[in-house]
């Protein structure tokens, strides 16, 4: 999971480098970079949980960040249909 979450963040960042820079994309790209990298960072934090409830709480944060990442990917796709295949692969 450590590798997968890191790869996800890297692949999202690489995608954002390809997406044209305009006012809409700029906002969404900024958000998706933050949330996708938070998935991995929070997953790593969950591995250092102090208790089972702490572990579950930290995984819930991972779940929220991943859901947020998916939301911004969907928005990017709406305004950049030429990247639909790449976004769906993520």
* Extents of the domains making up the chain: 2-89
The predicted pLDDT at position 44 comes to 95
The predicted pLDDT at position 16 comes to 96
The predicted pLDDT at position 37 comes to 97
Query: How many other β-carbons are positioned within 10 Å of the β-carbon of residue 9?
Result: 21
CA dist., res. 35 & res. 46, Å (int) = 16
The pTM assigned to this predicted structure is 0.88
* Range 2-89 classified under CATH 1.20.58.760: no
pLDDT digits (tens, 9 = 90+) for 16-68: 999 999 999 999 999 999 999 999 999 999 999 999 999 999 999 999 999 99
The predicted pLDDT at position 70 comes to 96
């Amino acid at each position: 999971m450590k590798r997968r979450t890191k790869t996800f963040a890297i692949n999202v960042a690489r995608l954002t480098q390809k997406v044209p820079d305009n006012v809409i994309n700029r906002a969404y790209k900024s958000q998706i970079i933050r949330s996708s990298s938070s998935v991995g960072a929070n997953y790593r934090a969950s591995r250092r949980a102090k208790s089972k409830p702490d572990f579950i709480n930290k995984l819930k944060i991972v779940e929220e960040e991943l859901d947020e990442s998916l939301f911004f990917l969907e928005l990017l796709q709406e305004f950049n249909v030429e990247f639909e295949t790449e976004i769906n692969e993520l």
